Amino acid sequence: ATRAAVFGANLPLEEPFAPEVRALALQQVDQELVQEGLLDKVGGDIAPEAKLQLSFESRSSLPTPGVIVKGCLDECDICEPAVDREIQLAIERKRLENELLKKQIELLEKSREYRCCPAGEKEEPEAGDE
């Protein structure tokens, strides 16, 4: 599509500025901005005084119903590796303590069986059991 078809045939076509004219216009604008104290030099950056005067900082917060943090020990957990290792060691310790208690119970039962009298005999009471 041609420009005339898109914008209408009766609109005048404007030619861009020549590079020399454009450069002179930009230089003039820079000189005016330096005179006003907005630029530090022609073609330079913003003047520090202007930056201090025109800069601002704004902080805001959006009201929310709250922050929900879900921590769980799934495949993607929130624990650090050291905390995760500590949890695993605590679980292993409890398992070993349970095994020790089971073995102690078995030994106590065997000890009672060993101390018990053969069939037909009575167990003699110990000194403190009367």
pLDDT in tens, 18-30: 899 999 999 999 9
pTM for this structure?
0.34
User: Residues 18, 26: contact at Cβ < 8 Å?
Assistant: no
Same domain, 77 and 112: yes
Tally of domains in the chain: 2
In a domain, 82, yes or no: yes
Give the gyration radius of the chain's Cα atoms: 45
Structural domain range at position 26: 15-54
In a domain, 22, yes or no: yes
For the chain, the maximum distance between any two Cα atoms, rounded to a whole number of angstroms, is 130
Query: For residue 130, what pLDDT is reported?
Result: 47
In a domain, 59, yes or no: no
pLDDT in tens, 69-90: 666 656 666 678 888 889 999 9
pLDDT of 113 strictly over 90? no
Q: How far apart are CA 30 and CA 46, in angstroms?
A: 11
Same domain, 110 and 79: yes
